[in-house]
Amino acid sequence: MLRFIVNRLLLALPTLWAVLTLVFVLVRVVPGDPTIVVLGDQASPAARAALRERLGLNKPLIAQYADFMVQIAHGDLGRSLVTNRPITSDVAAVLPYTIELTLAALVIGSLIGVPLGVVAAQRRDGFVDWLARIVSLAGLSFPAFVSGILLLIAFAVELRWFPVISTVTTTDPLQRLRALALPSINLGLIMVAYVTRVTRSGMLKALSDDYVRTARAKGLPNRIVVWRHALRNVLIPIVTVVGLYLGVLIGNAVLTEIVFNRPGLGKLIVSALNQRDYSLLQGLMVVTALAVVVANILTDLTYGLVDPRVKAG
């Protein structure tokens, strides 16, 4: 098992390199003058020249690339153009909230999506199946900000069950949960959509597989056949799908934070955009890239837990 983990970590390095290069390309190799984007076209030539120097834009591209990579290898994400604070500390301050939200959404997504998919598969065209299809259609059709706003209107404004603007940073666990509830439901809805779908289709296939026939031939009761024999196998495609859509989840987490005014990467991105903080934006992109790579590693490791053929073979 340890060898498997080390293996995966090593394999992640080229991916990490590739994704970081992608960020570099996205941020830099674009037509137009970034100093104009940042300072506006009214800026003086002197100010623009100073900015160019500061951003290292006068060096050849390869040198910029090398600087960029070396900086990141040292864990330095640069400094904000506006506040001049190190970006790493700004990110470290808000990252836990983003992680908290993402994990909560994963939990909600799985706890609702898996049973929904299992029951839906067993009674095709029954009520639960119909419900599952509606729920997954809804999850896929609501952009995260639309569902977020509608949730806010319904539950915070109209029903007043939850605060509209909540203190997320409180240490009181009940308050914290209350503040977490709506955003994680919002983000979780998308997870539920994906998880329900893949669970349902995976179960439909698994229930017609030969080993289920063997399990029934052993006289095992239906609930063991479904939840132990069939579902264990469906975990593999579920992990695959969750892994595929982790990028979407991260993107929507950012969006949810914006709508619900939670501290997190989302707020930082918005302020970076509003203030034209080019460096902060780049730093945040790097963080996102790292998050994606880490998420993929975790997905692969989960495979090792779920599929014995991966571990041994």
Partner 1 sequence: MSAAAEAATDAALEPESGEPALVVDRLTTSIRIDRRWFDAVRDVSFEVHRRETLALVGESGCGKSLTALSVMGLLPAGVGRVSSGRITVDGVDMTAASEAKAQAMRGDRIGMIFQEPMTSLNPVLPVGFQIAESLVEHRGLSRRQARRRALELMELVRIPAAAQRLDAYAHQFSGGMRQRVMIAIALACAPKVLIADEPTTALDVTIQAQVLALLADLQRKEGLAVLLITHNLGVVASVADRVIVMYGGDVVESAPVKEFFSRPTHPYSEALLAAMPRVDRSAAALMPIPGQVPTLPDLPPGCRFQSRCPLRIERCAELPPLIALAAAPAHGVRCWVRAP
Partner 2 sequence: MNTAVAIAAPSAWKRATRSGGLVVGLALALTMVVIAIAAPWIAPFDPNEQNALLKLEPPSAAHLFGTDEFGRDVLSRVIFGARISLFVGAFATLAGVVIGTIIGVVSGYFGGLVDRLITAATDVLLSFPQLIMGLILVAVLGANLFNLILAIAITAVPAFIRVARASTFAMKERDFVDACRALGFANPRIMFLHVLPNIMDEVVVMASLWFAAAIRTESTLAFIGLGVPPPTATWGGIIRDGFDNLLDASWLSIFPSLAILTIMIALNLIGDGLRDASDPRAPQ
Q: Which is nearer to partner 2, 114 or 293 (CB)?
A: 293
**Of residues 113-142, those binding partner 2 (CB under 8 A):** 124, 137, 140-142
**Of residues 228-247, those binding partner 1 (CB under 8 A):** 228-229, 232-233, 235-236
239 is a site residue for partner 2 (CB under 8 A) = no
Smallest separation (angstroms) from partner 2 to the CB of 246: 8
Options 46-54, 71-79, 86-94, 249-257: segment touching partner 2 (CB under 8 A): 249-257
Smallest separation (angstroms) from partner 2 to the CB of 292: 5
List the single partner that 229 binds among partner 1, partner 2, none, CB under 5 to 8 Å by kind. Answer: partner 1
Options 30-38, 71-79, 178-186, 305-313: segment touching partner 2 (CB under 8 A): 30-38
Smallest separation (angstroms) from partner 1 to the CB of 229: 6
DSSP string, the chain: -HHHHHHHHHHHHHHHHHHHHHHHHHHHS-SS-HHHHHH-TT--HHHHHHHHHHTTTTS-HHHHHHHHHHHHHTT---B-TTT--BHHHHHHHHHHHHHHHHHHHHHHHHHHHHHHHHHHHHSTTSHHHHHHHHHHHHHHHS-HHHHHHHHIIIIIIIS-SS-SS--TT-S-HHHHHHHHHHHHHHHHHHHHHHHHHHHHHHHHHHHTSHHHHHHHHTT--HHHIIIIIIHHHHHHHHHHHHHHTHHHHHHHHHHHHHHHT-SSHHHHHHHHHHTT-HHHHHHHHHHHHHHHHHHHHHHHHHHHHH-HHHHH-
One character per residue 187-226, x = contact with partner 2 (rule: CB under 8 A): -----------------x----------------------
- Of 216, 244, 248, 273, the residue at the interface with partner 1 (CB under 8 A) is 216
Q: Which is nearer to partner 2, 112 or 258 (CB)?
A: 258
Residue tagged 């896929």 (tokens):
140
Options 98-106, 139-147, 223-231, 278-286: segment touching partner 1 (CB under 8 A): 223-231
224 is a site residue for partner 1 (CB under 8 A) = yes
One-letter identity of residue 50: A
213 is a site residue for partner 1 (CB under 8 A) = yes
5 is a site residue for partner 2 (CB under 8 A) = no
Residue 275 near residue 82 (C-beta atoms within 8 A): yes
215 is a site residue for partner 1 (CB under 8 A) = yes
The values of phi and psi at residue 86, to 5°, are -65, 135
307 is a site residue for partner 1 (CB under 8 A) = yes
- Of 4, 12, 15, 110, the residue at the interface with partner 2 (CB under 8 A) is 15
List the single partner that 181 binds among partner 1, partner 2, none, CB under 5 to 8 Å by kind. Answer: none
The C-alpha atoms of residue 254 and residue 87 are separated, in whole angstroms, by: 17
The C-alpha atoms of residue 290 and residue 20 are separated, in whole angstroms, by: 8
# residues contacting partner 1 (CB under 8 A) = 25
Coil, strand or helix at 94: helix
Give the residues lining the site for partner 1 (CB under 8 A): 209-211, 213-221, 224, 228-229, 232-233, 235-236, 306-309, 312-313
